[in-house]
């Protein structure tokens, strides 16, 4: 069966074990992979709200999962503490 069915039928698992089974792929800037990446990130945020209280925490998490040209674009924004990194 689908592991997600087990997860969503057991609210306690959502609270206690969400971080252990989630795998967030890296995003390198390939447009066709963007939507899938954002869905994975959104699921992670929703299952771990206590970890992502601020927008900067969300943006930092996303940047941590970038690679290639996407990371090349994002790094200077993070390093310069541009206002955009505080707006998810």
pLDDT of residue 68: 96
**DSSP labels, 25-64:** PPB-S-HHHHHHHHHHHHHHHHH-GGG--SHHHHHHHHHH
Which parts of the chain sit beneath pLDDT 70? 1-22
Whether residue 59 contacts residue 86, with contact meaning beta carbons closer than 8 Å, is answered with yes
pLDDT given for residue 23 in this prediction: 78
Query: For residue 41, with 0-12 CB atoms within 10 Å meaning exposed, 13-18 middle and 19 or more buried, which class applies?
Result: buried
pTM of the model: 0.71
Tokens of 30: 């390939």
pLDDT of residue 87: 83
Residue 21: per-residue pLDDT: 58
């Amino acid at each position: 069966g689908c592991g997600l069915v087990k997860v969503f039928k057991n609210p306690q698992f959502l609270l206690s074990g969400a971080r252990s089974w989630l795998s967030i792929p890296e995003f390198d800037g390939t447009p066709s992979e963007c939507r899938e990446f954002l869905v994975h990130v959104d699921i992670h945020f929703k299952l771990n709200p206590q970890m992502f209280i601020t927008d900067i925490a969300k943006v930092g998490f996303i940047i941590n999962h970038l690679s290639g040209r996407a990371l090349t674009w994002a790094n200077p924004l993070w390093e310069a503490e541009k206002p955009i990194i505080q707006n998810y």
